Amino acid sequence: MTRTVVRPEKLDLDSPGRRDYWLALEHDSIWGDHLIPVTVFVGPETKDGQGLVAFGSNHGNEYEGPVALKHLLREIKIDDVRGRIILIPVLNPVAFLSGTRESRDEDGVNLNRAFVDGAGTNPALAGITHRIAAFVREFIWPRVHFVLDLHSGGDVARFSICSNFHHVEDPELAKKIEETARWYGTPSLMVYQNLTPGLLPSEAERLGKITVGTELGWGRAVNPEGVRYGRQGVLAALINNQLLHGKIEPIAHHKAGTQRKLEMVDRDCFTVAPFAGHYEPLVECGSEVRKGQTFGLLHDFDHIDLEPWPCVAALDGVLLAQAWVAPVAKGQHIGVVAREIR
């Protein structure tokens, strides 16, 4: 396979066939380019404004998504493709290269906070991360109606592995989003708050796209179970929506009917570290907890003789996520207890 280095305006996302690109965006530091791998498949049933894009490495230290999409690059055959499929295993090569959540070696921006007004066009928002957001806006959004954004916990948190989405007002769109999320097969479906500015999925949802995210692992590792769920979710969205020929069956918790739909949209769900310390978990992610139950302890080793601070659930629910790396910052969300909803 040969990849062609092109500027965004030279991407061909419409002609029939398969094309493999290195998308070149001007480098911020050296005389050169940042290169983003983009593969596009266009089948005979492609319609204007319709298709699917799947992103990996929105954050650079989350690896299940890139691995799952890299496998699909080899598995998908152009003769089986019906519509438009765009796979971008590494959306943020700067963060991926440094193995960090943000584009640390360039502008220091978190790509999943960069979808803000003026990204890539306002001179104050012209670093590489905002220009990646601008590329997605100009060249990807107009050609797709499905958006899959494959995340993991990185160093931030350990999750009960989940697919996730926000509440949306359109009931038909909400139904399609939840159905797409269930096909990943994950133990949990996470419905999360939509207050954080600049999220890629939030913008896609506002544009009316069927948008699903994931948390497929944690700890800057590759979780094989997470890779399996990620691959399943992408293939299911393609096959079930007439973008790819083939048959697919439900797997894991989707097949067994044991998925739990969990909501974390209000402040009671979040336990915030009142001081910088070291976190000791007492309960596994995915476990039920009761209001008032201590699920972890925060230790202050500068005041080693003090009792550890108890991390207490403010409601009955499921411990959906908690700090993964022991050292935590003051103000960090060190535990998330989600309500189960039907």
The full set of domain ranges for the chain reads 4-264, 267-341
Record the tokens describing residue 312, joined without a space: 């207490």
Q: With a cut of 80, say whether residue 1 has pLDDT above it.
A: no
169 pLDDT higher than 90? yes
Taking phi over 0 as left and psi of -120 to 50 as alpha, with beta for the rest, 200 belongs to: alpha
Compute the average pLDDT of residues 234-242: 98
Residue 255 confidence (pLDDT): 98
The whole-model pTM stands at 0.96
Q: Answer for the pair 33, 128: CB distance below 8 angstroms, yes or no.
A: no
Residue 337 has pLDDT above 80, yes or no: yes
Question: Is the pLDDT at 76 greater than 80, yes or no?
Answer: yes
Residues 6 or more apart in contact with residue 224 via CB below 8 angstroms = none
Predicted pLDDT at 211: 98
What is the percent of the chain with per-residue pLDDT over 70, rounded to a whole number? 100
pLDDT band for position 234 (50/70/90)?
very high
- Cβ contacts of residue 227 below 8 Å, gap of 6+? 64, 67, 68, 71, 216
Distances (CA, A) of 211 to 113, 201, 309: 17, 6, 38
d(CA 274, CA 332): 8
Closest CA to 218 of 294, 311, 322, 333: 322
- Alpha-carbon span 138 to 207, nearest angstrom: 13
* Mean pLDDT of the 211-221 span: 97
Give pLDDT, residue 29: 86
Tell me the torsion sign for CA atoms 114, 116, 119, 125: negative
Q: What per-residue confidence (pLDDT) applies to 66?
A: 98
Q: What is the pLDDT of residue 301?
A: 97
Mean pLDDT, residues 321-342: 96
Q: What is the DSSP letter of 156?
A: T
Domain 267-341 class?
A: mainly beta
pLDDT number for residue 55: 98
Q: Which residue has the tokens 């038909």?
A: 172
pLDDT of res. 109: 97
User: Which DSSP helix (H) or strand (E) runs through 182?
Assistant: helix 171-182
Residue 11: the pLDDT is 98
The rounded mean pLDDT for the chain is 97
Indicate left, alpha or beta for 263 from its phi (over 0: left) and psi (-120 to 50: alpha).
Answer: beta
- The contacts of residue 159 (CB under 8 Å, 6+ apart) are 152, 153, 188, 190, 215, 218, 285, 320, 321
pLDDT value for 342: 81
Mapped onto helix, strand or coil, the DSSP state of residue 167 is coil
Inter-residue contact 155 to 209 (CB < 8 Å)? no
9-60, pLDDT tens digit by residue? 999 999 999 999 999 999 988 899 999 999 999 999 999 999 999 999 999 9
pLDDT higher than 90, residue 331: yes
pLDDT digits (tens, 9 = 90+) for 100-158: 999 999 999 999 999 999 999 999 999 999 999 999 999 999 999 999 999 999 999 99
Check if the beta carbon of residue 263 is closer than 8 Å to that of residue 178: no
By CB neighbour count within 10 A (0-12 exposed, 13-18 middle, 19+ buried), where does 172 fall? exposed
3-state secondary structure of 32: coil
Distance separating alpha carbons of residues 156 and 76, to the nearest angstrom = 33
Residue 195 has a pLDDT of 85
Q: Is the CATH number 3.40.630.10 carried by domain 4-264? A: yes
